[in-house]
Structures are given as structure tokens and as C-alpha cells.
A and B are shown apart, each in its own frame.
Chain A
Amino acid sequence: MCREIEAEVLSPSPPAFSEIVLLEMNPHRVHAYWHVTPEALMQARRDHQAPNAPLSLWLYGLFGSTLDDDQAAVPLHGEALGGLTGQRDFESLTGGGVYRAAIGLPLSDGGVVVVASSNPVRLPFPSPSPRYECSLLDIRRGGVGAPSGGEVHPLGPGPAIVSSVPWPGSVSSVGGRGAHGDSD
């Protein structure tokens, strides 16, 4: 019985909606995949009287205070796309930075029509935090919520053990824009 249906065929029918998704790869790189429906593209061109506007992809750095704060989005990269579906990496980004991507049409007045906008991603920091804060949490107490019941560690103002573990060596740093957690 099983042998007859050993291989169901994955028919890669494109989704019925437009989307762009960002995935974190490492502190300096994100991966994007996208799909735009022909209908959405035609509609955008028609609505904005931009029949020849090229479908384009932009990556933004978000320099607001939270993952969802798009107020201070700075475009870092833009390119015209050759098709409705694709994948690519963005490199040389800043560890700890927050990024979002969008796909749409550039307008002649400098504006942009967004057809699909990605999830925001925060890249990990590639190096130890400059912040030191030793609050202790007694996990027997359930540990739910912020460690408001924690105590200030009595041993002093800095780490007791400084680890010299070199890791990872394969990802080159391009510098950080701020300290760990300073924009959380």
C-alpha cells in the first residue's frame, strides 16, 4: 500500500499573495526570499500610473528603539528585480542592527509603492556586551517575569571570570553601532 504513494510530488505552486521574508544568518548577514503576484504588481502599477516602474527590492536599517519602530528607517540597498520570485543574501551588515526589507515600485517623484514588507530582524551582536549587570534570580521561585526580586551581586562591579574564548573566528566584524541591549 505504501509503495504506491511513496513519493507525493511537491508542486511548487507560488503563493496567492505577495510576501518578503528576512532570515538572520549571522551578525553581518541576512537572507531574503520573496514572491510578488502578477496581480499585485499590475495593480500597483495601475494605481500609481507607473506602468514601467521596475519591481524593486530595498533593505532598510531601522534605527528606532524597538523591532517594530519604522520611524527611522534608513535605506541601505536598493535594486531592480528580474522576476517575481527570488532569494538573496545581504552582507556586511552591522551586528546588533535591526533590518527590514520591502519590495515594490520606485516612483518618478522619489516615492515608493510598497507591495510587500518583510518582518524586522535583529542581528546578534558579534562580541561581548560592554554592559555588566549582575542581578541574581532564584529560579526556585518560579522565575516568571523580570528579575525584580533579584539581588545585586555582592562580589563587585565587574565579571568574576573573564573568558578568553575566541569565537567565532570566521565572521569578520564590520563594527557595531551600539552596545548590546541598548536599544531593546
Chain B
Amino acid sequence: MAAGGLSLVLHAHLPFVRHPEHEDFLEEDWLFEAITETYLPLLRRLERLADDGVPTRFTISLSPTLTAMLDDDLLRDRYLLHLENLIELAEKEVHRTRADAAFAPLAQYYRDWFQATRDAYLDRYRRDLAGAFGSLEETGAIELMTCAATHGFLPLLKTEPEAVRAQVLLGQESHRRRFGKPAAGIWLPECGYYPGLETVLQEAGFRFFVVESHGVLNGSVRPHYGLRAPVACPNGLAAFARDPESSHQVWSADHGYPGDPNYREFYRDIGFDLDFEIIRPHILDGKTRIFTGIKYYRVTGDTENKLPYDPKQARRMVLSHARHFLEQRQLEVDRTAPAMDRDPHILCPYDAELFGHWWFEGPDWLEAVAREAAAAHPDLRLLSPSDSLSQDPRLQVLTPSASSWGSEGYSDCWLSGANAWIYPHLHRATRRLCSLAARHAKEPAQSPAARALNQAARSLLIAQASDWPFILKTGTSTEYSEKRIRDHLGRCQVLCDAVDNNAIDPYRLRALEEMDNLFPFLDFRLYNGGPASLLP
């Protein structure tokens, strides 16, 4: 069999959902669910591989907003409360199902899992999951990438170059401060690329980024190696193309692995299945049914009559699917290697939250892929994009075409009838901030005006997140997304007005700094050509 490289890239991201203004807040559950179902399981499996001496090399991009939330003490406290609530609910389920042969073992399974999760979070990781990922990078098990500061979809911000520059430079600065060194790679939000973006990526010190397949296939010249090797933009920034086949095998709703009948069914949750009185004490407002994370059924098939979930059978399928995945990648390497003067390389990027949250068995599948690759595919080497560039730094010069991994392949998803209204506001707010940054360029760092402009920048950045227009387009949580956009643009506007009128309310400013506490090192002069921070 031919030798080849395989990069599994997991992009971990959530928008900034932190609401100190409320005792508890539904959307913070997005983070808590992802911690329980994705981040902690990933960490545990990666550590298990290392403990067993299995050579592993995954690539994980941690978005700056996610990293900030993982580091946030308020959210850490609230996560533990969330877990305690889940454990209490699971205990009740153990009692309720005690005479039910099909569901009693599952109820115990969930209770034990939640308890183990709490213990791991407190004792093993001491609430520091970002630090745990950083430690894994030091062992070589993973390479960390970062992302644009708040996951702004850059192709739709580019009419204001300062907005793109701020997203990119701040993303790198945030990573450097948290992990002690700059990231070599940036995950472009939604794989959104446009020709010329590489200039600011280079300014930020990045070496590579990932684009959608047709970004390379439809690039400035034909790719010599197709999708089997990275290319270099004229300024030397490397671009790796997503492999569509391996994406399809994992992502596809109809044909992907997660749809196997033996895997856990996401949509059957006791939050919706049980009598309301049973779950009422365990939901936030006592009125609205929500997903609890306790799910007793498997996919079964295209039927409403779902069968009970069997973890053992699911694990068997995990192994089978891991083997299939690697066999398919090896076939592709074997097919393309004879025509190449280097080892073919396949890059498989996924949303990290697919693994565990949406596809419950996903973390087990990743572990199985690593074990099987080591045991049965010695020619298929798991490596990171940086490893690939070190292995063969001679790349074809090709400027990718504008592209994204959205459903249409371009910007349509984030610019439609449902969300186009936000862009005039985002662009105008950027221009106003740039104008104020220029006028106040000599402002002392801790002056009220400087702090107000720093905070206005934070508000604008949060409003730029690609998550909000995506949610507006897909029609889920639209009220919340619209409110977030309007609130943050409103905060930006109020702060800019205050600076303009020399009427800064210190009480209000302090409150906003507390609420949107992202990037405490940010300096507004970033919007006037300055660096992301003036602090050491």
C-alpha cells in the first residue's frame, strides 16, 4: 500500500453565550452540553490513547470565544450547577426505571457518566479544559489552531478591511496569550475565504488555513495535485482543501456514519418524552421543554417506533465504521500516489461538536480511528497540517477562489432574506469605530474614552459572529440571535455616542465591561492600524 498523510481537523467553536445579567440562561446550555458531550469526552479519549502509547496526531481549532468561555469562572460555576441538576435528574431516572429491563441499565449509565464527568471536571482537569488541550499539544498528541476572534464570516466583512484585520489579529493574539505561542494555523470561520485574505493572515503570523474543496479546484490555476496536497498563495500562506469524500461519510444525514440504526438517536430525549411533571423541576423556567441529554433510544431506522439504545452494539459499529473510514482513505492514497512526487495528503475537517453532541459515539469513533490507523494502516500516517508542511514545503502556487463550506458553497447562507439586514449596521459601526479610533489615537490606555472604545470594539466583534446570521437563516433560536445582534450593535452605538459627546457614564461602562468581558487585552487602536494589544 502507498504511503499517505491523514489530517483530522476538529473545529471547536461556540458563540459567546455568557449572561451574567441573569441567574441562569438557556443558551448557556450550548456550552454546558458541549463540555459534557464533546470536549470532555475528546480530552479523555486523547489521553487514553497517549496512556496506551498509541501514536496520535489530531488537529483541534479552539475558537477564541469558546476558549474565553471555558476559562470564565462564572460559566465554570454554572456548569457545575448544570451537572448537579443532571445528576439529580439521572438519579430520579434510575429510581423511575428500576423495574424496566430495557431502560434501567441506560438510566444507570447516564447517572454514572454524569458523575464521572463531574469528577473529571473538578479533580482531573480542575475546571481548566482549555489548559488541558494546551497540555495535550505539548505532548504532541494534537496541534492547536485558532480562529477569527468572534467567528466573523470574513467574506462579508471585507468591505471594511479593518473589521477583517481585527478579527484575524485578535484571534491570533488571543491564542498566543492563552497558550503561550502563536498558532500556525487559522480556521477561517465557515471556511470563508476570498482572494487577498492571505495578506492579513500573514500579518498575523499564520502559516496555513483551510478552504472548501472548490476553493482550490476553482483557483487561479488548476491544482497539480488536485486535493491531495496543500497549495501556496503567492505570499507563501499555505491552503489545505477539505476532502469532500471523507466529509460526506461523516456529515451526510442520509449516508453518514451517525445515521446508523445502532447509534443513539439525538432527537428522542426525556426532556420531550416524559410527563412534564417529571422533568419540570429540572428545566430552567419550569415551563419550556428542553433537551436534557438523557436519551434512551437508538436511530433504529426511518420510523417513529424507536428501539432502546444498546451501547455495546453501538461500540461494535464504531469499530466497523472506523475501519471503513481508514480503508477508504487508503484506497484514495493508493489511487493517487502513483501520479505524485510526494505522499498524498487528505485533510478531513469537521465541527468538533458533531462528535459527542450530535453523534454520541463520535469521540469513540475518533479514538477507534487512531487505534486502527496505528494497528492496521502503517502507511497512513496521522499528521497535522504543520507536519505536512514540514514534510514537503514545496507547494504549487495557486490563489484559491472565494468559497465557504456553507450549503451553497459561498456566502448565500450568511446573506439571505433572513439576515441581510445586519450588514449595513455592521459595516457602518465598523466605520464609525475606525473614525473614533483615529481621532482618539493618543488617548491614554486607561482613560474613560479608551476603555469605552475598547468596549465598543468588543460589542462590535460579538455582533459580527457568523452564528447569528446562520441561526436567522436556519430559523432556530431566531429571537435570541436577533436580540444578540441588536443588543451588541446597540451597546457599540451607545459607547461611540458617549465618546463622541464626551459623556461617558462610568457605571454603565463598568457594567458593559463585566457583561462582555471578552479580550480584556484588546486595544481599540487595532481599528486604526495598531496591534491587537498594547499590553505585554
Contact = CB atoms under 8 A, between A and B. Distances in A.
B21 A2 contact: yes
A56 B218 CA distance: 35
A147 B336 CA distance: 26
A23 B20 contact: no
B511 A5 contact: yes
Interface in A56-101: 87
A159 to B, nearest CB: 5
Interface stretch (A38-46, A108-116, A128-136): A128-136
A137 B415 CA distance: 36
Contacts of B340: 160-161
Contacts of A153: 224, 396
Contacts of A154: 341
A1 B493 CA distance: 20
A121 to B, nearest CB: 9
B207 A3 contact: no
A126 B397 contact: no
B156 interface: yes
A33 B424 contact: yes
B82 interface: no
Interface in B414-470: 415, 420-421, 423-425, 427-428
B244 A139 contact: no
A160 B207 CA distance: 25
B333 to A, nearest CB: 12
How big is the B interface, by class? 35 or more
Contacts of B511: 1-2, 4-5
A1 B389 contact: no
Given A8-B494, A161-B225, A124 B341 contact: no
B397 A7 contact: no
B440 to A, nearest CB: 20
A1 B409 contact: no
Interface stretch (B35-43, B115-123, B258-266, B483-491): B483-491
Contacts of B234: 137, 145-147
Contacts of B407: 170
Given A129-B222, A165-B213, A170-B408, A143 B514 contact: no
Given A139-B207, A165-B227, A1 B510 contact: yes
B222 A9 contact: no
A167 B213 contact: yes
A27 interface: yes
A124 B403 contact: yes
A5 B410 contact: no
